[in-house]
């Protein structure tokens, strides 16, 4: 077992790996050039959810009249909201720092570069840190698009959107993945006029079509314009008066807005690490690893967004756990079949496993059970729209995909992930007693539909 391990990157992959190793007596050095917590805590998961929560609270206030609750005037002080966001982030960063201190992990501020298999140099200080193993957890950075004007003034990425000191009157968001849709709802909820442009035929291109259709419908209903199958040709104009030229169905169009935001995904942050010198194989910028997170260079591991794949914080944590276990002499390969995917818009969306199209392609014959949220008693109480969809392969009736849209479904998807990990059938899920009245009942009802019977829907 390695007794000294160096980890480059203190995000949701790096610091959990450090904690696991330190608790087993390993001497850990954690190198972070910015703040502990990485993109997720500082510029991603946490701050965006603070802003989304504010947007959701505003929505509840504005729709409270249906319950007889009248609110005459609603005002948002964005400076206070920004301060609240920053306070939440700061408290969580301090929490990670204290945990590092309590576990006697040495935290080095700087940029780590691979010099040899067992040596890392800190670029800023020149210090050489030696160890028995290295874990690369350098995360990702916002991707760019090859469009004229995409790097001009008034064009921002998701990181920069979180630093805005005021809500713009209007915004065009390029990219309708989960990042684009979440920011669309944030800024629309806070008063901006928002248009989302997507190159592919549907919003959320990697998700089940029913999920994409439901969210697209919900966003359009509240006034967010979502345009698909468009090609952005040029971004022009000065900050505050931007123009986006795009083509759709053979015709050219122009949109004007105060700001343009690029939400076209993220790419591995692996440049300048000395990977080639250390013998670490890469493909299109991502580090290549085996199921134990080992790279092509003995003793060097890589996890999280640096290896591409599913770029989600909880996946990075699982990969960090896998790498740490392997360093400790435990061989537990990571299985990606049941990775939850969550979108924190209103309504929320959450999925695990295969989409319906993917399941048909893989298995041929499948069974699909659906349950509409409107048929749920709890949904009638809290409001909202959505559905549950359970997909099973026909031969053994094992569940291979679950897709949910509705209130609080990001909290419920873990049940579906556990069910898939345990290789449960639709019948076993249908026979699992769910509490009433809850939104979670729709998972049970959709599983019943897989087996050909229903209670609260036709």
CA distance 278 to 118: 9
Q: Which residue has the tokens 């319950």?
A: 67
**C-alpha dihedral over 321, 323, 328, 333, to 10 degrees?**
90
CB 127 within 8 A of CB 21: no
CB 424 within 8 A of CB 444: no
Cβ contacts of residue 13 below 8 Å, gap of 6+?
38, 137, 139, 303, 304, 305, 316, 317, 319, 320
Does the active-site annotation cover 321? no
CA distance 14 to 20: 10
Q: HSE-up of 446 (CA within 13 Å, CB side)?
A: 27
CB 407 within 8 A of CB 437: no
CA distance 413 to 419: 10
Q: What are the two backbone dihedrals, phi and then psi, of residue 344, each rounded to the nearest 5 degrees? A: -100, 30
Q: Which helix (H) or strand (E) holds 286?
A: strand 286-287
Q: Which helix (H) or strand (E) holds 135?
A: strand 133-136
CA 225 to chain centre: 22
Cβ contacts of residue 422 below 8 Å, gap of 6+?
none
CA 425 to chain centre: 28
CB 241 within 8 A of CB 171: no
Nearest by Cα to 266 from 394, 344, 207, 178 = 178
Cβ contacts of residue 177 below 8 Å, gap of 6+?
204, 205, 206, 263, 264, 265
State the CB neighbour count (10 A cutoff) for residue 27.
16
Residue of 332, 431, 436, 456 with catalytic role? 436
Q: HSE-up of 359 (CA within 13 Å, CB side)?
A: 27
Strands 27-32 vs 4-8: parallel, antiparallel or unpaired: parallel
160 token code pair: 């920069």
CA distance 261 to 157: 5
265 token code pair: 């995904």
Question: Angle at which helices 14-22 and 78-102 pack, to 10 degrees?
Answer: 30
The residues annotated as belonging to the active site are 436
């Amino acid at each position: 077992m390695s007794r000294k391990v160096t980890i480059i990157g203190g995000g949701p992959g790096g610091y959990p790996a450090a904690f696991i190793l330190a608790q087993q007596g390993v001497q850990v050095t954690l190198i972070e050039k910015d703040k502990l917590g990485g993109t997720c805590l500082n510029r991603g998961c946490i701050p965006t959810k603070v802003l989304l929560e504010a947007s959701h609270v505003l929505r509840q206030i504005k729709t409270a009249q249906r319950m007889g609750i009248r609110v005459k005037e609603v005002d948002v002080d964005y400076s206070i909201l920004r301060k609240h966001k920053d306070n939440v982030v700061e408290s969580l960063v301090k929490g990670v720092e204290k945990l590092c201190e309590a576990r006697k992990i040495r935290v080095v501020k700087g940029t780590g570069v691979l010099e040899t298999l067992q040596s890392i140099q800190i670029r800023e200080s020149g210090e050489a840190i030696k160890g028995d193993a290295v874990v690369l957890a350098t995360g990702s950075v916002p991707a760019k698009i090859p469009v004229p004007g995409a790097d001009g003034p008034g064009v921002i990425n998701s990181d920069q959107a979180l630093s805005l000191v005021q809500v713009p009157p209007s915004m065009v968001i390029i990219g309708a993945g989960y990042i684009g849709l979440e920011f669309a709802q944030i800024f629309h909820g806070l008063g901006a006029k928002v248009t989302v442009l997507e190159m592919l035929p549907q919003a959320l291109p990697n998700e089940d079509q029913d999920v994409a259709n439901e969210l697209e419908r919900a966003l359009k209903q509240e006034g967010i314009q979502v345009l698909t199958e468009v090609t952005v040709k040029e971004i022009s104009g000065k900050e505050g008066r931007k123009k986006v030229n795009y083509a759709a169905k053979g015709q050219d169009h122009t949109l004007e807005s105060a700001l343009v935001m690029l939400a076209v995904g993220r790419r591995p942050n692996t440049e300048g690490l000395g990977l080639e010198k250390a013998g670490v194989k890469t493909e299109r910028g991502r580090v290549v690893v085996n199921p134990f997170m080992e790279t092509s260079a003995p003793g060097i591991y890589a996890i999280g967004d640096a290896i591409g794949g599913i770029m989600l914080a909880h996946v990075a944590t699982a990969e960090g756990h896998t790498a740490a276990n392997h360093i400790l002499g435990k061989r537990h390969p990571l299985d990606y079949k049941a990775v939850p995917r969550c979108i924190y818009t209103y309504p929320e969306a959450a999925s695990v496993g295969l989409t319906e199209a993917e399941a048909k392609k893989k298995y041929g014959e499948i069974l699909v059970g659906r349950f509409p949220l409107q048929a749920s008693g709890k949904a009638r109480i809290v409001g909202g729209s959505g559905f549950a969809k359970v997909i099973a392969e026909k031969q053994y009736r094992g569940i291979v995909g679950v897709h949910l849209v509705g209130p609080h479904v990001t909290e419920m998807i873990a049940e579906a992930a556990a069910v898939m990990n345990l290789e449960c059938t639709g019948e076993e899920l249908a026979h699992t007693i769910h509490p009433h009245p809850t939104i979670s009942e729709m998972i049970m009802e959709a599983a019943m539909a897989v087996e050909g019977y229903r209670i609260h829907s036709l």
